[in-house]
Amino acid sequence: MAADPSTYDADHPLGQIALAHPHVDLHAWESAKGIKLNMIQVAPEHQGNGYASAALRDLVIYADSKGLTMALRPGVPEGRKGLSEAQLKRWYSSYGFVPNKGRHKDWNWTESMVRPARSN
């Protein structure tokens, strides 16, 4: 479940974040638009220890430091019981993600949630 070191450029900050969180399966890509988070998942035997929260917190800090918007589409991993999409949306909202619609609509993204960069 941990990040495969060959998947990431260890010199890039996203690679460093992924490798710093060995219990988290993290798939995020940076482009000129910002950072797309495709997956953040923890193996069942390691859930409940704050590993995903720590990894997401590091991603958010990096995105803010670079002025990058983040985007994602929350989804419950196949076979994951006891977790709903509503719970995931609340969790992401606690990190500043908002529905990508209405006054928060970012036309650069098709993902359903975005997090505009925050200045420090």
pLDDT of residue 120: 62
- 3-state SS track over the chain: CCCCHHHCCCCCHHHHHHHHCCCEEEEEEECCCEEEEEEEEECHHHCCCCHHHHHHHHHHHHHHHHCCEEEECCCCCCCCCCCCHHHHHHHHHCCCCEECCHHHCCCCCCCCEEECCCCC
pLDDT of residue 85: 86
pTM for the whole thing? 0.86
5-9, 54-58, 71-75, 90-94 — which is least confidently predicted?
Answer: 5-9
Which strands make up the sheet holding 98-99, listed edge to edge? 24-30, 34-42, 69-72, 113-115, 98-99
pLDDT (average), residues 104-119: 93
pLDDT confidence bin for 8, thresholds 50/70/90: low
Predicted confidence (pLDDT) at residue 3 exceeds the cutoff of 70: no
pLDDT confidence bin for 44, thresholds 50/70/90: confident
Predicted confidence (pLDDT) at residue 4 exceeds the cutoff of 90: no
Residues 69-100: tens digit of each pLDDT:
999 999 877 766 677 889 899 999 999 999 99
Superfamily of domain 5-115 in CATH is Gcn5-related N-acetyltransferase (GNAT) (3.40.630.30)
